[in-house]
Structure 1
């Protein structure tokens, strides 16, 4: 069966293909093409929705998969970036056109859910999935070069990574997007003094508990930070006993259902 570009746009033609047949066709349509297809008619919109939410063999054959985002940035002011996204279901690359803005510094990320740019006078963050929206706020009180930065609820946590001339390398600050204010919090645990930077720490956010978790990459020792009380808890030993002597680097993350994921690199 062939569906041409002309009859895609006519409601009369859409009525000739409906129900399970239409849904079956959409199971083989690239994800990026489902958006315009959903505007043809109400029956097509319902079929598109069903093809994305169906179960069993049909769901496994054309399930939605995470996208890969690639950012390139100029090393010179104004540090302009280009963004491309890869959809593994459609097998296509898409260029994402971001809103025009002057980037203040190098684009960085402590983990994949938040991008930020930090300078002595400015701090810009973006946490939506495609990073199309940016929040521009005043810089934290303490100047940092390699902090860990995470979004926990409506709060932005920035910790460690301080410059060598700062008094407290473990300093933690928190910015509330609702009150638009910075607050000082309990410093990071003293055991992390020599590794209080994103280079040496892996972080993850549990959205259901509204907590940030930090693990030291070289030891696997973990702590959690609760922004509601501005305090740290732990330590937690995440290392399986049989791997303690064979692991060189530890990383953490959370799945979509907030289960902690721990992975590591073996020594060679």
Structure 2
């Protein structure tokens, strides 16, 4: 091969991209496209991590869970990435028994049956925990994860003697305990239909949707506290709570069930 041919072949090889140039290029890619780029080499992996740390906070994903209405009631999970405008199908472990898929909070899914109890609380629901069912047969319970414990309260069937019963499942020891029941305040409304639920690593927060009255429960001491009136406005007829970035947010609808005149939010509550 002639010297000129060698020079031509060398010139055809693209120069590698490194440092700030590579980081600038990767910063324009959607989040989902950065995953395969991080596997190219150690240098690219380091650059991807640096890009994620320096880039603006990404938009939250939308996770949709669907379940068939006929046996065997198969479930599917899809996620929408707003940065790349793509839908992704998520494959999670199958459930070995038939039960309705329900959600107590935005990130807690569960299936409860007289003999079994399954739940998942990681963002994409790739991990499922399976346990024996609570002793009290429940059809519409209040369920939330508090640290390493799952609190199951109220929602008992009509023939159960204790409609306010509380049971706590320890994820580490895989055992159930039964502390003191819910306060008498919840009599007649101890179910997720009437209550909005939020939790952090220490406590469970239960808000009456129509009255705006809050109670808290500490599973370590098995104690209930409250009531606390959280209504931010006398015009609020329906309210709910949720945790976001370690802050509890209260949102209320103004007006009545027939005519909604607006929405009012309190974006951080001290407790």
Identify which of 83, 93, 96 aligns with 1:102: 96
Task: Please tell me whether residue 75 in structure 1 is matched to residue 69 in structure 2.
Answer: yes
Deviation at residue 102 of structure 1 after TM alignment: 2.3
Q: 1:139 aligns with which of 133, 140, 145?
A: 133
In structure 1, the partner of 2:16 is 16
Question: Please, what TM-score do these two structures have when normalized by structure 1?
Answer: 0.87
Match of 1:206 in 2: 200
CA distance in 2, matches of 1:88, 1:236: 38
In 2, Cα distance between the equivalents of 1:16 and 1:94? Answer: 31
Partner deviation per Cα, 1:200-228 (whole Å, 9 max, x = no partner): 11011123xx1110100001100111010
Q: Residue 163 of structure 1 is aligned with which of 146, 151, 157?
A: 157
User: Is residue 259 of structure 2 the alignment partner of residue 265 of structure 1?
Assistant: no
- 1:103 is displaced (CA, Å) by 3.9
Deviating 4+ runs (over 4 angstroms) = none
2:109 pairs, out of 98, 105, 115, with 115
Structure with the greater alpha carbon radius of gyration: 2
5+ long unaligned stretches in structure 1: 1-11
- In the aligned structure 1, how far is the partner of 2:93 from the partner of 2:182? 36
The separation in 1 between residues aligned to 2:95 and 2:139, in whole angstroms, is 22
SS at match of 1:194: coil
Superposition RMSD in Å: 1.5
Total equivalences in the alignment: 244
Given the two structures, how large is their TM-score scaled by the length of structure 2?
A: 0.86
Per mean C-alpha deviation after superposition, the further-off stretch among 20-29 and 169-178 is: 20-29
d(CA) in 2 for partners of 1:67 and 1:103? 29
Give the Cα separation in 2 of the matches to 1:160 and 1:35.
43
Which residue does 1:220 correspond to in 2? 212
